[in-house]
């Protein structure tokens, strides 16, 4: 079996997350880290996570809450009961109680002040967990990626930039997401005229989607 590659997705804190300090001084971040049935736009296609997608993954292993996906900066962990992740009909609701050290206090203040306002999570999916469709937006058919089931959810993270915009990591995430898309051509045949036409058509759709949204 081929090794499943890790992906990341992000959204704004202001939409689904909040930071609070309890009466006893504990620093918490809570809210929906994953939201179902909420289409997101990126990389020339739309993506939606379907209800129940996290059920299997949340039964496997344990998750951490990190800063900028840096494994050297853990802030909370399920194994010591400072991170909770629960699934309901809306998505996955998490509550993280940050470690009370300088790192935890600094990141909490960054989030609370709005300096860092993005929430991200790392995951992977098997080919069986994803299906592709097309959705019409303003008369243009756009590839629609439906995540039916996560294989693993590794961690949640506070991040500065969603999708690591403009970086090699963004490019890798796009490659993984589009790998089995029947509407985006086959990247392995870059020199074929058919592939060139497919890529040109996808680029036109990307531009059209940006204009419409």
Domain annotation covers residue 2: no
pLDDT in tens, 42-65: 667 888 999 999 999 999 999 999
Domain annotation covers residue 175: yes
Extended beta strands in the chain, E state: 7-12, 17-21, 27-35, 40-42, 45-49, 64-67, 70-77, 83-87, 91-97, 118-124, 130-137, 140-147, 152-159
Is the predicted pLDDT of residue 202 greater than 70, yes or no? no
Cβ atoms 130, 180 nearer than 8 A: yes
Domain annotation covers residue 47: yes
Which pTM does this prediction carry? 0.75
Is the predicted pLDDT of residue 186 greater than 70, yes or no? no
The parent domain of residue 113 ranges over 7-181
Question: Residue 105 has what pLDDT?
Answer: 96
Q: How many domains does the chain have?
A: 1
Question: Residue 3 has what pLDDT?
Answer: 72
Cβ atoms 147, 49 nearer than 8 A: yes
What is the pLDDT averaged over residues 177-181? 66
Q: Which long-range contacts (CB under 8 A, 24 or more apart) does 37-40 make?
A: 39/135, 39/144, 40/9, 40/11
What is the pLDDT averaged over residues 7-36? 85
Domain annotation covers residue 212: no
**In the structure encoding, which two tokens stand for residue 207, read together?**
């531009």
Question: Residue 119 has what pLDDT?
Answer: 85
Question: Residue 142 has what pLDDT?
Answer: 85
Helix count (H) and strand count (E) of the chain? 5, 13
Domain annotation covers residue 206: no
Question: Residue 167 has what pLDDT?
Answer: 38
> What is d(CA 66, CA 64) in angstroms, rounded to the nearest whole number?
6
Extended beta strands in 2-54, E state: 7-12, 17-21, 27-35, 40-42, 45-49
Domain annotation covers residue 118: yes
Domain annotation covers residue 107: yes
What is the pLDDT averaged over residues 86-107? 95
pLDDT, greater one: 73 or 118: 73
pLDDT in tens, 123-172: 999 888 999 998 887 788 888 989 999 999 999 998 887 653 443 444 55
Mean of the per-residue pLDDT values for the chain?
80
Domain annotation covers residue 213: no
pLDDT in tens, 29-46: 998 889 899 888 766 788
């Amino acid at each position: 079996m081929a090794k499943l590659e890790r992906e990341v997705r992000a959204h704004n804190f202001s939409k689904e997350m909040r930071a609070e300090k309890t009466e006893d001084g504990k620093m918490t971040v809570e809210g929906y880290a994953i939201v179902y049935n909420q289409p997101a736009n990126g990389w020339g296609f739309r993506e939606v996570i379907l209800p129940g997608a996290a059920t299997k993954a949340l039964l496997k292993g344990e998750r951490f809450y990190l800063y900028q996906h840096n494994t050297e900066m853990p802030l909370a962990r399920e194994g010591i009961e400072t991170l909770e992740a629960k699934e309901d009909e809306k998505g996955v609701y998490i509550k993280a109680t940050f470690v009370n050290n300088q790192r935890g206090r600094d990141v909490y203040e960054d989030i609370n002040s709005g300096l860092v306002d993005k929430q991200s999570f790392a995951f992977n999916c098997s080919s069986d967990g994803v299906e592709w469709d097309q959705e019409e937006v303003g008369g243009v058919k756009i590839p629609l990626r439906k995540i039916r089931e996560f294989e693993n959810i590794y961690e949640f993270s506070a991040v500065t930039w969603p999708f690591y915009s403009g970086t090699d990591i963004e490019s890798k995430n796009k490659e993984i997401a589009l790998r089995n898309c029947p509407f985006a051509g086959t990247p392995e045949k870059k020199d074929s005229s058919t592939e060139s036409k497919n890529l040109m058509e996808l680029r036109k759709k990307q531009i059209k989607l940006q204009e419409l949204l």
